[in-house]
């Protein structure tokens, strides 16, 4: 039952991210969500790239503050060395505000 629920959430997360990204960045082509571990694996095809980028998040922790949703990501891996360094310095372990256009969907999926 959990696998079916996680698959449904994976689809919802991928669709939400694609609505946000397609306006100029690219597209999530595959996404796996594990609700028990609070982890994600995805493939992202960015505009201008010739091959997809693999992203892994070993753990995410959602945090609410009023109406705002934040997440902390740990164990983030990226298949591009320069992006891995950027994530290490700017994303890993930091509190990140979820854009309001994604927050409503994210609150439902992460509940």
What confidence tens digit (pLDDT) does each residue in 54-89 have?
999 999 999 989 888 899 999 999 999 999 999 999
Residue 111 pLDDT > 70, yes or no? no
How many domains, the chain? 1
pLDDT given at position 1:
66
Residue 101 pLDDT > 90, yes or no? no
Label residue 109 by pLDDT band (50, 70, 90): confident
- The helix (H) or strand (E) run that includes residue 86 is helix 81-90
Three-state secondary structure call for residue 107: helix
pLDDT given at position 107:
74
The number of C-alpha atoms within 13 Å of 59 and in the hemisphere containing its C-beta is 6
Tell me how far apart the 2 most distant CA atoms of the chain are, in Å.
Answer: 41
User: Domain of 24?
Assistant: 2-110
């Amino acid at each position: 039952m959990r696998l079916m629920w996680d698959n449904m959430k994976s689809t919802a997360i991928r669709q939400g991210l694609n609505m946000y990204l397609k306006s100029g960045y690219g597209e999530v082509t595959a996404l796996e969500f594990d609700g028990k571990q609070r982890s994600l694996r995805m493939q992202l095809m960015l505009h201008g790239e010739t091959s997809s980028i693999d992203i892994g998040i070993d753990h995410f922790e959602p945090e609410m503050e009023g109406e705002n949703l934040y997440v902390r990501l740990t164990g983030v891996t990226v298949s591009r060395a320069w992006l891995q360094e950027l994530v290490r310095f700017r994303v890993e372990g930091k509190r990140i505000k979820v854009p309001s256009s994604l927050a409503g969907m994210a609150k439902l999926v992460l509940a």
